Amino acid sequence: MPLDVAQDPYAVPEELAARVDALDLRRNIVDLVDEGYTVIRDPKAIAMADEVREAIIRCVPAPPEAKAPTRFTLLDQDPIFAEAVTTPKLLVLVEYLLGRGALFSQLSGSRRRPGPQSLGLHADNSWFPAPFPEWEITATGCFVTDEFTQESGATLVIPGTHKLRAHPPKDRRESLEGAVPIVAPKGSICLWNGSVWHGNYPRRLPGERVVLHMTYTRVGMQPIETYDHLDEAWFAGKDPALPTLLGRHNFLGRRHGWKENDRELLKETYLQVHGPGFRT
């Protein structure tokens, strides 16, 4: 959120205002401030929706029955992905949420077939303990290549929960009280901030839900220096805390394929941040 949110929750930095108005994004900003999410209709995204869908299908293996496989680190797998993550309206709203110099964090594609499975309620600020800061840490854009409805397996969101600045408690994860589907036509980009509680509905229709997930983060959320050049021999005889301090036991900042080692690193990183028993 803008740094002067205390004075005006809808304030737009002066250097961004002209682009916001040129692209007619004031209504989207009201949505983000009030509800925690918005639906973007950008001509560039609408025009490329079929191509994005086809590229995801080429790059992400066909799902087994009722499963929803996801492939990560997709940016260099097809030129259309670089086009998708730089959609003009999306980038302006990402800058509004995360400030100038925001970083691209993750690109993944998913394919979901009919079945009872659904993604549990969570906030994307999974790497941070509550309370979250008043300014946003992360933002996620969901490129809709098929119409989003509850029956099609759309993202669900509990509007306004970003204001709680916390992870959803167990009772809300189970009841989904207040949840609504993000209804959006093909070619839309659904954007939400990292604090809002969301998940998705099971797909009830024939065919597949094919989605490109684009995550951005604030520029300060990274080390100033990198020590990737240090080999394992360098750590010999040194304090065992050093590998963790230098990210060797960290899920973040890697090329992911969701192999078993990725899952173990994911669990270990959650434990580092939140301690035993945490779940989003």
pLDDT by position in tens, the chain (length 280): 444 445 788 999 999 999 999 999 999 999 999 999 999 999 999 999 999 999 999 999 887 765 677 888 899 999 999 999 999 999 999 999 999 999 999 999 999 999 888 889 999 998 888 999 999 999 999 999 999 999 999 999 999 999 999 999 999 999 999 999 999 999 999 999 999 999 999 999 999 999 999 999 998 877 778 888 999 999 999 998 888 788 777 666 655 554 555 666 556 555 555 556 555 4
How far is residue 155's CA from residue 202's CA, in Å, rounded to a whole number? 9
Q: What is the pTM of this model?
A: 0.84
Which is nearest to 198 in space by CA: 170, 232, 175, 168? 168
Alpha helices by DSSP H, listed for the chain, are 14-22, 26-34, 43-59, 79-84, 88-98, 170-175, 232-235, 242-245, 260-274
How far is residue 194's CA from residue 124's CA, in Å, rounded to a whole number? 5
